[in-house]
Amino acid sequence: MDEILYKIDDPNLQEEIKKIIPFHGYLSTGAFIGLQMLNLARRLLDIKEVDRIFVTCETQNCLPDPFQILCGSTIGNKGLNIIDHGKMAVTINKAAPPGEKTVQAVRIVLDPEKTVNYPIFHAWYMNEAKISHEEAINYLIKADDDVYSWYLIDIPVPVKKKKKITLCTVCGESFIREGDEIICKWCINPENG
């Protein structure tokens, strides 16, 4: 990975990579894509270091990690949502000002119509050839934002609901209910809990 860091002129990007490696275990291509998407969103939405951001990742593989380590957006603090559509795509927004019903977000996608301009990287992306992470990342460094498509959208600000805790009538364990249910999801379907 030192070879990759050597090719990057931006000291901030180098520092971000150095934080991602121990968190993720190594610099994967997916984590680097997440980092590029994060930095693109920072520019498009004028995200500052102090801003809280919310992220929806459309894959659970590697892509969410930069948002966790660099932005503190985690599943536990509701800053990170993963809806696994198997896509290299994210939607990112800053926290909405109090009282706002919508907030501007950006959806960023690794675009196969653009990755074709980088045939070796495209072969990695489409899983057509075995390409090392270092080689794929080298192409991403050259491509920069050229392999991404994005658009701005307004998304609704979720209303924070008061938690309703109840005891499951089957197992007796407490659970957060979403409606009037009296049986927890685990007891209804233990395979999908």
Other CB atoms within 10 Å distance of the CB of residue 30: 20
Same domain as 81, residue 172: no
Other CB atoms within 10 Å distance of the CB of residue 160: 7
Identify the three-state secondary structure at position 105: strand
Query: What are 146-191's pLDDT values in tens digits?
Result: 999 999 999 999 877 888 999 999 999 999 998 899 999 999 988 7
Other CB atoms within 10 Å distance of the CB of residue 16: 19
Same domain as 180, residue 140: no
Range of the domain at 193: 161-193
Would you give per-residue pLDDT tens digits along the chain (193 residues)? 667 766 788 889 889 999 998 998 888 999 999 999 999 999 999 999 899 999 999 999 999 999 999 999 999 999 999 999 999 999 999 999 999 999 999 999 999 999 999 999 999 999 999 999 999 999 999 999 999 999 999 999 987 788 899 999 999 999 999 889 999 999 998 876 5
Q: How many domains does the chain have?
A: 2
Same domain as 140, residue 173: no
Query: Phi and psi for 82 in degrees, rounded to 5?
Result: -120, 120
Same domain as 98, residue 169: no
Domain CATH number, residue 130: 3.30.1330.130
Same domain as 51, residue 130: yes
Same domain as 169, residue 151: no
Per the CB < 8 A criterion, the answer to whether 117 and 134 are in contact is no
